Structure 1
Amino acid sequence: MGPHRVLSLFINELSEGLHRSGVHEIVPLTRSRVEWSGICSELSILSPFCTFIHFLINGPNSNYVDKKYLPVIYAHTPAGTGLHIFTQLLQIVDAERFQAFDYGSPSRNHKEYGQTTPPPYLLSRVTAPVGMFWSDNDWVVDAKDIALTASQLPNVVLNYRVPTHDFNHADFMWAETAGEQVYKPVIKFLKSL
């Protein structure tokens, strides 16, 4: 797995430090970030650095994204997320279970949940038909986690692995082949319900 596992080891310190500094959004989408995205153009000397960051976040790069489009992608992705959401995601990675937000103290957790630790989300209560779409080359959501999640959901009617072995996390959104490999199967699944 990519940097998510490493960051999860320091999530409490990281979250507290950012909160004390007045940071409430991670990687917000700003005008200056859009204006500076040209530094990631195919001809830029910094292009390899941008590609490396993309690799760290999404997994090994595939060849399914038009390289000329990367500055547009980098200008808008990621588009920001709340500190609370970012913290909970890394807590889930660290705890290795799908659970509610951990407030960091047994007394606060008890106040919020009636117990000293955050409760797990009970996927067994999800009775709606579920289609799972995943790929082998995704560093954010790996095959082991997909299998675990599928085993806890009572009504998985489709467990679809993208057939291309090097399809990564960002390819679900940006790959030129996403229409054929993901969107059409999603539409077919939704029409079957």
Structure 2
Amino acid sequence: MDRQEMIDRVRAEMPEKRWLHTEGVMATAIVLAERYGEDPQRAELAAILHDVAKFWPVDRQAAVIRDNALSSDVLDYDKELWHALAGAWVAQREYGVTDPEVLDAINYHTSGRRGMTKLEKVVWLADYIEPGRNFPGVDDIRALAEQSLDRAVLAGLDGTIGVLIARGKRIYPLTVEARNGLIEELSGKS
């Protein structure tokens, strides 16, 4: 499937506002990939597909996770996490993506994980700071992203965890592990 066909199919899966977000993630992922020595085409591919399952009914997302032996523990946590796993599955099955790092970048774009690859960090951060995002502190993280990919991802994880705590929500363990792993990397203890 060529790039334009993929874009057309993904765009049809979501409302226009979410497509505008996806375009922002695509552009931001390319910039971050170029800045930090990752392949911009792979970053854009993951960005195109990162929210492909976001607007599926949650029972369809859950069925994909359960029926395909994906990380079913995620079903015990916020439904906002589910589309990432379902999206990686559909990227492989319906869009023909075979690159395991691209699939992982889609899979972990909401939660993060310990030992994230550079591509995973680029896509995670692009999703967090794309131009359409507007929340307290986002401009600081955008500025940090111009200096350090790892420090910007860490700041984003801190922000995400802080919001979840403020809302009284459970924190998915992979997100805590992502944060702890980055702290260890940055302190040289990895």
| Band of TM-score, shorter chain | under 0.3
Higher relative helix content:
2
Given the two structures, how large is their TM-score scaled by the length of structure 2? 0.28
Given the two structures, how large is their TM-score scaled by the length of structure 1? 0.27
Larger Rg: 1
Higher relative strand content:
1
